[in-house]
Amino acid sequence: MSTVRAEHLTRRFRDVTALDDVSFTLEENRIHGLLGRNGAGKTTLMQIMTGQLLASSGKLTIDGKPPYENEAVMSRVCFIKESQTYPQYFKVRHALESARLLFPDWDEEFAQALLEDFRLPLGRQVRKLSRGMHSMLGIIIGLASRAPLTLFDEPYLGLDAVARHLFYDHLLTDYAEHPRTVLLSTHLIDEVGELLEHVLLLDQGRMLLDTTAEALRGQVVTVAGPASAVDELAARNEELHRETLGRYARATLRGDFGTAERAQAKALGLDLEAVSLQDIVVRLTTAQARSGGDATGTRKETTR
Ligand SMILES: Nc1ncnc2c1ncn2[C@@H]1O[C@H](COP(=O)(O)OP(=O)(O)OP(=O)(O)O)[C@@H](O)[C@H]1O
């Protein structure tokens, strides 16, 4: 178990504000998704969490302690990133042996089972692995580490659909038996929609969304029907997107879509459609750009 707390975290790189006053909590033993467009600040945040970077200001703690140069904290953290490098001579076997030494909760039997499932050859030199096989190695280490805080930063570059689903299945099954805090950053949002219990959405360094997946489903809906009825509902909710065809409109709205609001929409003759996590992310980040974000890493206001 591991809890991560960030308070007013900011990280600047010269004129770029990669993280801008970000506060959130990762509750222990949950699978969190870290979403956001390219350059949103996801990797920067994970680097601060793993003590590879210092914040310019603000505070981040893991179980109450800062991770930077803190071996006791870092022994409980596994960070799997796409750009992981290994010594030139390393074979898959060596990478797994190092991981076994590094992670106190390492499960060798599980690692061997994963190797078989992913069909990764133990004796192959890591530098000769294909792009997807390289990702598999990271995923195997991330899963078998059983680290109380496991971070996956875009872990599956080059992985085919079968291997990606193997990863999702193993993560869910193993997590059910050995709960831990997981943070997964990905652009394949629809694929992980069902996996995530909590969603964090970064946009130009700011936290646009920090909510449970369940709450989010009740917050964003698409309504379709007579434009006047859509207008009525849009007047008391945040409108993220709209398409109009004559007197017919279809709008994605954000608000509190509980039983009463849904009944009201039905009574107005509107159809309600669920919105996929990917569409929610696209709509929120596009609405954000329209409402005053700029391309330099700063933003004027949030939609929260
Ligand atoms: N070492 C650095 N020096 C200067 N700018 C940096 C550095 N690291 C990150 N940045 C900038 O900070 C911003 C956030 O980058 P980051 O890598 O955290 O984004 P990301 O959300 O992980 O993006 P992607 O999804 O494309 O991997 C970007 O504008 C990036 O150019």
pLDDT score for 294: 42
Supply 104's token pair: 């106190």
**Reported CATH class of domain 215-290:** alpha beta
pLDDT tens per residue, range 264-277: 999 999 999 999 99
Q: Does any ligand 1 atom lie closer than 6 A to the CB of residue 38?
A: yes
Tell me the CA–centroid distance for residue 39 and ligand 1, in Å: 5
Q: Using the predicted structure, report yes or no on whether residue 181 has a pLDDT greater than 90.
A: yes
- C-alpha 67/C-alpha 77 separation (Å) is 9
- C-alpha 90/C-alpha 97 separation (Å) is 10
Q: Atom 12 in ligand 1: which residue has the minimum CA distance? A: 18
Q: Does any ligand 1 atom lie closer than 6 A to the CB of residue 39?
A: yes
Tell me the CA–centroid distance for residue 44 and ligand 1, in Å: 6
Q: What percent of the chain has a predicted confidence (pLDDT) above 90?
A: 82
CATH superfamily of 4-203: P-loop containing nucleotide triphosphate hydrolases (3.40.50.300)
Whether the predicted model's global pTM rises above the 0.95 cut? no
Q: What percent of the chain has a predicted confidence (pLDDT) above 70?
A: 95
Q: Does any ligand 1 atom lie closer than 6 A to the CB of residue 42?
A: yes
pLDDT tens per residue, range 210-264: 999 989 888 999 999 999 999 999 999 999 999 999 999 999 999 988 889 899 9
pLDDT tens per residue, range 26-71: 999 999 999 999 999 999 999 999 999 999 999 999 999 999 888 8
Contact 40, 203 (CB under 8 A): yes
- C-alpha 56/C-alpha 76 separation (Å) is 24
- Helix, strand or coil for residue 277? helix
Ligand 1 atom with the shortest distance to the CA of 36? 21
C-alpha dist (Å) from residue 176 to 31, 113, 146, 270? 11, 17, 12, 40
**30-34, 100-104, 153-157, 295-299: least confidently modelled range:** 295-299
Q: Atom 3 in ligand 1: which residue has the minimum CA distance? A: 13
Q: How confident is the model at residue 79 (pLDDT cuts 50, 70, 90)?
A: very high
What are the residue ranges spanned by the domains of the chain? Answer: 4-203, 215-290
Backbone region of residue 37 per phi and psi (left: phi > 0; alpha: psi in -120 to 50; beta: other values): beta
Q: Does any ligand 1 atom lie closer than 6 A to the CB of residue 19?
A: no
Query: Among 9, 16, 37, 50, which is best to mutate for testing ligand 1, by the most ligand atoms less than 8 A from CB?
Result: 16
Average the pLDDT over 164-174 and give the result: 96
Radius of gyration (C-alpha) of the chain in whole angstroms:
21
pLDDT score for 166: 95
Supply 241's token pair: 């997107």
C-alpha dist (Å) from residue 255 to 126, 196, 209, 272, 284? 49, 21, 13, 13, 12
Average the pLDDT over 162-167 and give the result: 95
pLDDT score for 103: 95
Other beta carbons less than 10 A from residue 83's beta carbon: 9
What's 180's DSSP letter?
-
Q: Which residues pair with 153 in a beta bridge?
A: 81, 185
Q: Would you give the end-to-end CA distance of the chain in angstroms?
A: 29
Q: Atom 6 in ligand 1: which residue has the minimum CA distance? A: 13
- C-alpha 165/C-alpha 6 separation (Å) is 31
* Burial of 247 per CB tally in 10 Å (0-12, 13-18, 19+): exposed
H helix runs in the chain, sequence order: 42-49, 71-74, 92-102, 108-118, 131-144, 161-177, 189-192, 213-219, 227-234, 259-267, 277-290
Is the complex ipTM higher than 0.90? Answer: yes
Q: At what angle do helices 92-102 and 131-144 cross, to 10 degrees?
A: 20
pLDDT score for 270: 96
